[in-house]
Amino acid sequence: MQSRDQIRNIAIIAHVDHGKTTLVDQLLQQSGIFREHETLQERAMDSNDLERERGITILAKNTAITYKDFLINIVDTPGHADFGGEVERIMKMVDGVLLVVDAYEGCMPQTKFVLGKALAHNLTPIVVVNKIDRPAARPAEVIDEVLDLFIELGANDDQLDFPVVYASALNGTSSMDPEKQDDNMLALYETIIDHIPSPTEKVDEPLQFLVTLMDYNEYLGRIAVGRVNRGVIKQGQPVAVMLRDGSTKNARIEKLFGFQGLKRIEVAEAGAGDIVAIAGIKDINIGETIADPQHPEALPVLKIDEPTLQMTFLVNNSPFAGREGKWVTSRKLRDRLFKELETDVSLRVDETDSPDAYIVSGRGELHLSILIENMRREGYELQVSKPEVIVREIDGVKMEPIERLLIDVPEESMGAVMESLGTRKAEMVNMVNNGNGQVRLEFLIPARGLIGYRTHFLTLTRGYGIMNHAFDSYGPLVGGQVGGRHQGVLVSTENGSSTFYGMMSVEDRGTLFLEPGTEIYEGMIVGEHTRDNDIVVNICKEKQLTNVRSATKDDTVKLKTPVIFSLEQALEYLNDDEYCEITPKSVRLRKKILNKSERERAEKHRKMAQANL
């Protein structure tokens, strides 16, 4: 068992895309744990398909490297505030953090979010100014921004005395001097050894281990990952498991694993301060404590930020239900959602009066869309409603989540962006002109105002704008309409396949969302209207054949390129009376009530009910 003085447990935290995972790649590559013929896959820690496709970290993961005689346990955390539950848990596993900040972008909303979590847990920080090789790098200003952020978040004197390492994770270089780089990561290794404290827990006390992460293996079953808070844990050892409901059950440690690089290695025992994985305990969950049977003492339950957004997940009941998916029933949908709760502590699932509908609450649109994307890849079919913010009552006042929004836009787009955010009840709190044609704007905005805004924002800035946001606080509920879609939609009146002729006949009414030859059904949304009302259209009609036809007449006519939504764009686009139908092969928008006459009747009843209030 490693000496406690030679262990360092650190988490790497940063705003999304500031280079955390690439930095871990370099630390792994240069640690010497790979043989000469072994190659390290780029962004090796992002093992999930979705993570590799999107270039983001969704699930926290841990690795370990050996430097000199020291064992450095490293946990790579997500940068998106939507995955705050992952970040929150990791803080319980480590003694210090590497705060990675982009040498050009500086402090961003999620930088504040993740640093706030670290300082609240009294962790020792090291600041890594990454991407120092960028032409527009401004390390001195960025360090000033970081210091201001530390002060704003109430850092103590020890935390304010943070060391700074300048690095280029992409090139594998680092140094303590912003002007020149060494061709290795030795400056960072040495800073970790010198500044991050070793574990202070005692190995001669009764065992306590908090389950922080969950993994699954088809041979070993559930694997609980966490830190030994005190005592020693051994293979074959009988233990008591303190469940979240307060009860206790007996179990045995069948397999015990430590970490080396990207691999798990079986170990006979581990002591206080070690990060290990445990197999052999059935039905164990995140937040539960494994303890000595003679001294069964539970650790404090993990406090996780509450969800801010909810959606209704329903069984797919469209005319195309069951065509493309493997799992389509209410029971399968329920089982899958409740299974997700075992590993995602930020998620909530509530049953409704209907056996076919469940209210799923999460930390944001990205959080819920990742769950939906994973489900469709696994073969599930489902429908979801428009995302809605969760309004809370605090001291008798209705409160809604407020987001801190940071926007970088070209100067010429600034006016249009500020006007569009004004209609969404945003309040500007800061503006910085970087002097290179780019302006940074900072707003506080109700979370409702951001639903569906990203696509509109990219249109306003012609794709050059960058927006980031993170939960700031709860504020009084803003009255009136905030955000939402202003345009109506084109709704199909027919079942069939879209035709070139049918689409040509309605093209001047708006923007179409599908290609010719796409199967559609009555009530399906096929495009966006140029005005604010919905209209029904028939894009299945065929051209009538006549005796007199020009051979070349149709050859010169071209359809405008349709807008094909991604899953996130489709979810953002939804209105209150619409569903998004999701299958392994398709994402379709539809009205909740498919029949035109029934829709009109329901709308009439809704208006009458409003008038009587």
Please give the distance of CA 45 from its chain centroid, rounded to a whole number: 16
Q: Which amino acid is at 213?
A: L
CA distance 162 to 128: 10
Q: How far is CA 304 from CA 108, 145, 286, 309, in A?
A: 22, 28, 12, 15
CB 529 within 8 A of CB 487: yes
Residue 178 tokens read as: 């912003």
Half-sphere CA count of 263, side-chain side, radius 13 A: 7
pLDDT tens digits for range 58-75: 444 678 888 888 889 988
Residue ranges of the binding site: 17-22, 130-133
Joined together, the tokens standing for residue 549 give 């036809």
Residue 595 scores a pLDDT above 90: yes
Distance of CA 590 to the CA centre of its chain: 26
Whether the CB-CB separation of 83 and 367 falls below 8 Å is answered with yes
The overall average pLDDT reported for the chain is 84
Distance of CA 523 to the CA centre of its chain: 32
Q: Binding site for GTP: what residues are annotated?
A: 17-22, 130-133
Of 137, 145, 136, 126, nearest to 103 (Cα)?
137
For 110, 489, 522, 595, the CA distances from 602, given in Å and listed in that order, are: 43, 18, 17, 11
Q: What is the DSSP string of 475-499?
A: EEPPPS--S---S-EEEE-S-EE--
pTM here?
Answer: 0.77
Position 465 scores a pLDDT of 83
State what percent of residues in the chain have pLDDT above 70: 90
Minimal CA–CA distance to 315: which of 375, 389, 367? 375
Question: What span, in angstroms and rounded, lies between the C-alpha atoms of 357 and 317?
Answer: 11
Residues 427/397, Cβ–Cβ less than 8 Å: no
Place of tokens 């599908």: 514
Collapse the DSSP code of 522 into the 3-class scheme (helix H, G, I; strand E, B; otherwise coil) and give the result.
coil
CA distances in angstroms from 307 to 466, 540, 581, listed in the order given:
25, 43, 23
pLDDT score for 148: 92
d(CA 111, CA 91): 15
Residue 110, pLDDT score: 73
Neighbour-count burial of 98, counting CB atoms closer than 10 A to its CB (0-12 exposed, 13-18 middle, 19+ buried): buried
Token readout for 323 is: 């065509």
Mean pLDDT of 210-217: 80
426: nearest Cα among 452, 448, 395, 397: 448
pLDDT of residue 613: 65
How many other C-beta atoms can be found within 10 angstroms of the C-beta atom of residue 134? 15
Length in residues, the chain:
613
Backbone angles phi, psi at 178, to 5 degrees: -70, -15
What tens digit of pLDDT does each residue of 323-374 get?
999 999 999 999 999 988 877 777 899 999 999 999 999 887 878 988 999 9
Per-residue pLDDT, 38 = 42
Q: Which domains does the chain have, with CATH numbers?
A: 4-195 (3.40.50.300), 208-291 (2.40.30.10), 309-389 (3.30.70.870), 392-476 (3.30.70.240), 488-547+557-564 (2.40.50.250)
Count other C-beta atoms under 10 Å from residue 603's C-beta.
Answer: 13
SS3 content of the chain, % helix, strand, coil (to 5): 25, 35, 40
Q: Looking at residue 187, what is its pLDDT?
A: 92
Full DSSP string of 136-196:
T--HHHHHHHHHHHHHHTT--HHHHS--EEEEETTTTEEES-TT--BSSSHHHHHHHHHHS
- Between CA 578 and CA 587 the distance in angstroms is 13
Q: Are 475 and 402 in contact (CB under 8 A)?
A: yes
- Given a cut of 60, whether residue 307 has pLDDT beyond it is yes
- pLDDT band of residue 105 (cuts 50, 70, 90) is confident
Q: What count of other Cβ atoms lies within 10 Å of the Cβ of residue 88?
A: 22
Q: Is the confidence at residue 526, as pLDDT, over 90?
A: yes
CA distances from 385 to 326, 533, 543 (A): 21, 20, 36
Quick: pLDDT tens for 3-48: 778 899 998 888 777 787 788 888 888 876 443 434 444 444 444 4
Residue type, 428: M
The pLDDT tens digits for 77-86 are 765 554 555 6
Mark residue 43 as left, alpha or beta (left: phi above 0; alpha: psi -120 to 50; beta: remaining): left
